[in-house]
Each structure stands twice: as structure tokens, then as C-alpha cells.
Structure 1
Amino acid sequence: MQNKNRPAARSAVVIGGGIVGMSSAIALLERGMACTLIDPATERRGASWGNAGHIAIEQVEPLASMRTVRSLPRRLFSRGGAVALPARDIAAWLPFSLRLLAAARPKRFDAGKAALAALLAAALPAWRRLVANAGAADLLVEDGHFIVWETPQSAAAGRAAWAATDIGAARFRDVTPAEMTQIAALTKLRPAGAIRFLGSGQVADLGELATTLDRRFTALGGVHRVQAATALEREGAGVAVRLADGTLLRADAVLVATGARAGELLAPLGLHVPLIAERGYHIRSAETTWPAEMPPLVFEDRSMIVTRFRGHVRAASIVEFSRVSRPADPRKWARLRDHVAALGLPFALPGEEWIGARPTLPDYLPAIGASTRAANLFYAFGHQHLGLTLGPVTGEAIAALIAGETPGLDLAPFDLRRFG
């Protein structure tokens, strides 16, 4: 349906080559629009490509919740958990935490859950379309995932917690004896309990995904500028994009999809973007006997997920509230290695290290919409732990908006004006 309140664009500049930016660019090209993608990276190291590969349609309840607040003390890194609040970055995470507390109030939490549920319900269908159109349907594996506990107490509490949680279209069941035997064969600590989620998915190989999407983008006529966008400059009622080499790019639509760095581009235009870099860490090993068909395993007592990709196995964890530019903290990788060693997993240590920043807003909802500060300015970022999950559906929705259509999803809850 045509949106009569917004004229259709014929050209677009997309800033950001992560899964959200690339999905959006492809969706625009599929509508016949000319599209230039701006991304300085020649190596895929961002959060879109360093995550656990898990398409988490079960994560319906926003992490901005009173349950999260109550559980924080026992989850702190200093107490053996995965949540790190570095003292050096208190100026970043303290204001963010206060906004999170406000967003965790029951009324806002319920509204956020309803908004997130609608996005997540459309996530896997959008993924199927993206990979099928790219001729790589095998990159999407819809085989669920496991959650494992190490003690009877944590197993009972964990299962009860999931039973009381809204998980949308996903569902779970107790593992079968055969599945428990398969899991137990991977660790020297026999699990005390485990459940299997059904309905969630996995990307089989994130490197192959990046290559596949690049190829699809190019085949559709997209142009990739390996440059940094340094500023959005006002031109009449709209904006143009200034690149690091001085070039000024103009288009009917400019989409900011730069993840944790979005605030840097938008702040000079007067847009309030209370983003924080929620940094995650992983280690990976190509040497493993981990079964290729094993779905992702979440060791919930350790807040760690282990995923078997086509070429390696990856262990990921840590929620570090910090700044994008801060040096990595080697203690976080050491904690991951300790977990892998304690569990006795078939994983060659020390493993290759990675760190990336999840772009997170205080209410744990993404920012998707059209700016009122410039007629041709759009945004899609802030997907926290759900960037991979929601990349394709976000791309379809924002492309529809840019094309002058009415998106199939209500984008009002994701408008940046909710932050004032």
C-alpha cells in the first residue's frame, strides 16, 4: 500500500554494512531503487558477524525489565557472572541504567514486549525470503537450540523461569534421553537438566552469509563505497552524506544503520540517541570434534552460548557496558577460556579472540523510522542482542517506508522521539 504522506524515493544511501544495513540495502534494490552502501570495513569484524549465529525469536521480553534489575547483583562479572560495569565508564552506564530502570516499569515493559513480539513474529519469514532470494536457503538452519544447567537447583529454577516467560511463537520441551546423551558427550560435567527450544534458528556460517549478501547486493546493481561517513550535512530540507575523502553524496533517502556509532552521526542534527556499546566477547576454534549437526548450546549457569558453524566452533558471552573505542579487557576472554576448560568441551584453546559492540537503547527496543529533523533521513539501529535476528525484517520494513509504502509492521514504538 502506498503511504500518501511520504513520497517514494528513487535513490538511497545506506550508511552501515552490518546485517541491518545490508538487509535494508538489498530490500531497497529489490524495489528498483538505486542504492549506495557506505561502510569503511574491508574485514567483517562487527557485531553482525561476531555473534553466536542464533536467531532468537524466543527473546520476546525486553531485557529492560524488573527481572533483569533484580538479577543484576548475582550476574556481575566481579561475582563470576557475565555483566561488566567498568568503573572507568560509569559516566556512560550510570545514565543508561537510570533510563533502563524507567523503561522497566510494568506499563512500559508491557508495551515494549508487544512491540518486540510483533517484530520477532515476522523475523524468520523475513530470513527465509532473504536467503532464498540470494540462492542460499541452506544458510538458515531451523533446528532450535538447547539450554543446559549444571545443578539440580539451577535446572529447576531455570526451567520454571522459562515456563513463566513469554517466548512468542517459540516453544520448548524437556530433552529426550538420546539428546541428553549427545549433550553429555561434549562435556565432562554431566548436565543436571536441559530443555530444547523449537522454532528458533541459526545461521550456518556468518562468513558465508556476508559473502552471499555482498554478492546479492552487487548483482542487484548496488554500489559499495569503502569509506567512512564523517557527517550528515544539511541541504535544504534534507541531508547529504560527507565521506572521509571529502565527497558529498546526495540521495532521495539517507539511512543511518551504523549500530553503536549511530549517535555520533545523528547528534549534530539535534537527535537524542541514548545508545550504549554493550560489548560482547567470543573465542573460536577451527579444531574441534563438535558434531556439525548440533544446535547451539546455552550453558545458562555460565551465561555462555556455544555454536557450531561450518568451519569452526564459537563460545560467546559477556555483557560489558562500555564505549565503542575502549580497549578490550583480556579478563573477559580468560573467563571464557575458564568456562570452556571447566566444562571440558572439545575446543582447542586458547582460541581466536573477538570483541564487538551491540548497539543498545535503554528500553531494549530498536530505533526504526523516519526522522522529523530532515525530510530524507531514516534510521535503523539499536537492535541490542537481536541484530542478527531482526536484520532482515527491519530491512524490509524500513525499505517499505523509504519507498513510500506503508510497512507491514507498526513502527511507531521504535520512533526515536520516544526519548525526547
Structure 2
Amino acid sequence: MDRKSGTLVVGGGVVGKVCALALRRAGESVTLLDPQGASPPASYGNAGHIATEQTAPLASPAALASAFRRLFGLGGALDFRLSDIGAWGPWAARFVAASTPDGAARGQQALSALLRDALPAWRRLAESLGRPDLLVERGHLVVWESAATARAGRAAWEAADIGQARLTSLAEPTQARLQRLIQPAIAGGVAFQNTGQVSNPALMLRLLDEAFEAAGGQRRIGQARRLSVVDGRVAVELSDGQRLAPERVLVTGGVGSGALMRGLGHAAPIIAERGYHLEGGADHWDDLPPVVFEDRSMILTRFGDRLRAASFVEFGREASPPDPRKWARLRRHLSELDVRLEGPVAEWMGARPTLPDYLPAIGASRRADNLYYAFGHQHLGLTLAATTGEWVAALMGGAAAGIDLAPFDLARFERGYKTRSNP
């Protein structure tokens, strides 16, 4: 039976869709406010990788030290749109402040706790959708094209804390399969186990919508423009001028969540961390797990008869036009690898929502009695979506979330605030 409280979930990406479904299945009356933008969300355009190995947040001394050599102008994947310095400049200052040894250690502890149940949660979600084949658990491969980068890359991964993932040498038959598909010689590689991928990101989003509606959830197309508080409770103003006053509001709106939360006085220093992909036919490409070409900062993932090449960490405004040089660089990488995308080749650019410490924001607002949030999952939105939905449903249902959510409280960005995880 539905509770009397109606919940509005703001956001149409994978985190919003999973949270809406989890709340509906918990008995809530739920409306999902989906902006249906011109470009599909980042949860559609990513590499489909369930990245349980990425326990180290990118806010770290190591990331700072390596940033210069990773710049796009020097052949790397990292770029800052100069025209958008007003957006990423203040964020970058916070990122540098967060990238201390102590900050990185606390961040890794918190992120590891989030990732611990990521893959099991995806199994539960895929089963509940009646499509266990949505989750493919074959791990992924990382390869290098020079002996020097192979030695350094393997040593770095072997020294890293990779959480629930496991690392082994790249088996000779697997390397031979991959070598038949590409031109440059593979100098070395490793294989990860206990990671995975979704079989089809577009299908995943459609199945979530269908399951939500089948469970009695309501979808509404619209854009939240502003949140306001009256008598301690939040209301939502839409871009068409309508005003909604649900019993509870959950903000899962990706990059746009920052402006909504800041409108209520929250510190929410989020940035659009933009990625790019090319996708085309792949009849010639073997049925391999995702392959990371680490020298090129590019990942290739097969989705059925399609192959997707994804890359880049571009900081800027979400609405800024795409940079065609990124697609040109992807085409050059594919050409040098002798990888062909057949038929029409689709170009995509989308924005990951990223906070300066590379941890998501998950919690309950202190500024409105009926406001909750779950956004800022950076590269791990797809990876953490299933378990985030479970935590949010527990949090909003008054049950224990199963992990300490204090490190993900938005108040961590307020001056003088310390989480329980801090000294």
C-alpha cells in the first residue's frame, strides 16, 4: 500500500531512475521528473563499465602530480575549456585543497565502502528487472603498447588498492585474440576480475523506465528550475512556471543539481566533467570484455553489434558546445589501432557530475525537512547506481543505510564542517 507521502525525484539519469524505482518498490508514491534533454545523459554515453576497481578518488597528490603530462595539448585526455574558466576555476581550487594525503586516504576509505556492494547490487537489480543478462561479468582488460608503459602501468595497478576487484596477468590466448584485431603490438596487459559491464546502456535506461511505470510510478517530462522553502519544506518550480509541492523531494539531477541546491544555501561545488564517444558497427570485433588502452586513455566496449570508443576528461560548462577535436582524436586513435567502426558512426558528448573531492553527495538536507539528494557520482554513476538506490530507499524509509553516509554529506563543503570520518 502506498504511503501518504508523495516523492518527487528530480533527474532522468541512471541514478535518478534507479532511486525512483527503489522508492516505488518500497511503497512510496513516486513521480520521476525527467528533463529529457537534447543529448542522452552520461549514463547512456559512458563505457558501460562497472568499475569496482576504482576505489581511489581522483582528488589525490598522485593525480595532481600527473595532471600536466595528461593535458590534451600534450596528447592526453585532460582538458580545461579556457572560455569556461569561470566555472572550473573555483572548482579547481577546491580540488587542489582536497588533494592532500589525508584527504585522499579519507576519500578512498569512503569510496571503498560505497563500491563494496556495487556489483552485488547490480546483480539484484538486473534480476529484479527480469533481465539478468543486462549485467555481463567478464571483467575487463588493460593493455599497453610499449614496454616502458607496460612495466610502469602494471606496477601501479599491482600497488593500488582495487577493492573487490582482482588482477591477473593477461592470458596468452586472450592477448592473441586482441592482437588479431589491432595493428600495434601489445607490449603487456592485465586482466581484471570482479568488474563488469552493462550489455546495453540504452536498453538499461529503457528497462528501468518500464519497470518503474509497471510498478505504478509516474514519469513527468520537465525541468526543475528552482527550489524554494516555505515553512521548512521545499517546493519545486519548473521551467514552464508550474510549482510543485510534493511531500518529499529527492534531487538526483546530475550537474544541474548544484544550482538547485545552492539556491537553498547549500554548498554544492559541482562541475561538468565532459566525456566523448564514437560508436559504430563492429562485426569484425571479437566478443571481448571492455579493453582499456591506457597509453591512449581510451576504452573500447562492445554492445551487441556496436563498438564504442570513449575517452576524455574535459572540464567546462555543461551547455558549452562540444569540441570536435575530441572526436578527431578518437578517430586518430582508432585509425592507429586499425579499428574500424562500420556504417554510420555516432558522436556523443555528455557531462559527468563531479564534486571537488570526487565523492558523491548522498544525504538529507538540513535546510528543508523534506529534501534529500544523491548526485555527483563522477565516473562512477553507472557503477554505483544500483547500490545508491538501495541506500536512498533505506535513508528515506527511516532504516539504516548499511554504511556511514557522513562522508557524503553536502555540508562537508561548508567552512568548519567535519564529518565523523574526519579527525
Q: 1:87 to 1:350 in 2, by over 3 A?
A: farther
Q: Does 1:343 align with 2:340?
A: no
Residue pairs, 1:19-418, within 5 angstroms: 19-41=14-36, 45-291=40-286, 293-348=287-342, 351-418=345-412
CA–CA distance in structure 1, aligned partners of residues 380 and 343 of structure 2: 28
CA–CA distance in structure 1, aligned partners of residues 45 and 132 of structure 2: 21
> What runs of 5+ residues in structure 1 fail to find an aligned partner?
1-7
Kindly state the Cα deviation for residue 349 of structure 1 after the two structures are TM-superposed: 7.9
CA–CA distance in structure 1, aligned partners of residues 163 and 40 of structure 2: 31
CA–CA distance in structure 2, aligned partners of residues 247 and 271 of structure 1: 23
CA RMSD of aligned residues (A): 1.4
Counterpart AA for 1:330: P
CA–CA distance in structure 2, aligned partners of residues 163 and 94 of structure 1: 34
Counterpart AA for 1:133: S
Counterpart AA for 1:303: S
CA displacement, residues 297-329 of structure 1 (integer Å, 9 cap, x when unaligned)? 000000000000024110000100111010000
Kindly state the Cα deviation for residue 192 of structure 1 after the two structures are TM-superposed: 0.4
CA displacement, residues 93-137 of structure 1 (integer Å, 9 cap, x when unaligned)? 222222112211111111110110011011011111111111111
Counterpart AA for 2:404: D
CA displacement, residues 54-84 of structure 1 (integer Å, 9 cap, x when unaligned)? 0000000111011111111110000000000
CA–CA distance in structure 2, aligned partners of residues 164 and 9 of structure 1: 52
From 8, 11, 28, the counterpart of 1:16:
11
CA–CA distance in structure 2, aligned partners of residues 54 and 17 of structure 1: 19
Kindly state the Cα deviation for residue 18 of structure 1 after the two structures are TM-superposed: 0.6
Determine if contact 1:253/1:402 at 8 Å carries over to the other structure: no
Determine if contact 1:42/1:226 at 8 Å carries over to the other structure: no
Kindly state the Cα deviation for residue 42 of structure 1 after the two structures are TM-superposed: 6.8
Determine if contact 1:27/1:396 at 8 Å carries over to the other structure: yes
CA–CA distance in structure 1, aligned partners of residues 343 and 151 of structure 2: 32
Please give the secondary structure, in 2, of the residue aligned with 1:351.
strand
CA displacement, residues 396-418 of structure 1 (integer Å, 9 cap, x when unaligned)? 11111111222112111000000
CA–CA distance in structure 2, aligned partners of residues 358 and 265 of structure 1: 17
Determine if contact 1:52/1:316 at 8 Å carries over to the other structure: yes
Kindly state the Cα deviation for residue 142 of structure 1 after the two structures are TM-superposed: 0.7
**Greater mean deviation of Cα atoms: 81-90 or 333-342:** 81-90
Counterpart AA for 1:194: G
CA–CA distance in structure 1, aligned partners of residues 91 and 232 of structure 2: 32
Please give the secondary structure, in 1, of the residue aligned with 2:167.
strand
CA–CA distance in structure 1, aligned partners of residues 263 and 321 of structure 2: 26
TM-score by length of 1: 0.95
CA–CA distance in structure 2, aligned partners of residues 322 and 243 of structure 1: 25
In the alignment of these two chains, the number of paired residues is 412
Q: 1:95 to 1:246 in 2, by over 3 A?
A: closer
CA displacement, residues 129-157 of structure 1 (integer Å, 9 cap, x when unaligned)? 11111111100001100001000000000
CA displacement, residues 319-362 of structure 1 (integer Å, 9 cap, x when unaligned)? 00111010000001000000000010132388210000000000
CA–CA distance in structure 1, aligned partners of residues 140 and 78 of structure 2: 23
Counterpart AA for 1:46: P
Kindly state the Cα deviation for residue 28 of structure 1 after the two structures are TM-superposed: 0.3
Please give the secondary structure, in 2, of the residue aligned with 1:355.
strand
Structure 1 consecutive aligned stretches of length 4 or more whose deviation exceeds 3 Å: none
Counterpart AA for 2:94: R
Kindly state the Cα deviation for residue 251 of structure 1 after the two structures are TM-superposed: 2.2
CA–CA distance in structure 2, aligned partners of residues 30 and 409 of structure 1: 21
TM-score by length of 2: 0.95
Determine if contact 1:383/1:390 at 8 Å carries over to the other structure: yes
Q: 1:44 to 1:223 in 2, by over 3 A?
A: farther
Please give the secondary structure, in 2, of the residue aligned with 1:338.
helix
Of all paired residues, the percent bearing the same amino acid is 51
CA–CA distance in structure 2, aligned partners of residues 17 and 303 of structure 1: 28
**Greater mean deviation of Cα atoms: 183-192 or 94-103:** 94-103
Kindly state the Cα deviation for residue 272 of structure 1 after the two structures are TM-superposed: 1.2
Kindly state the Cα deviation for residue 91 of structure 1 after the two structures are TM-superposed: 2.3
Please give the secondary structure, in 2, of the residue aligned with 1:14.
strand
CA–CA distance in structure 1, aligned partners of residues 31 and 354 of structure 2: 26
Determine if contact 1:337/1:349 at 8 Å carries over to the other structure: no
CA–CA distance in structure 2, aligned partners of residues 12 and 350 of structure 1: 41
Kindly state the Cα deviation for residue 287 of structure 1 after the two structures are TM-superposed: 4.4
CA–CA distance in structure 2, aligned partners of residues 85 and 350 of structure 1: 30
Counterpart AA for 1:130: L
CA displacement, residues 28-71 of structure 1 (integer Å, 9 cap, x when unaligned)? 01111100000120777110110000000000011101111111
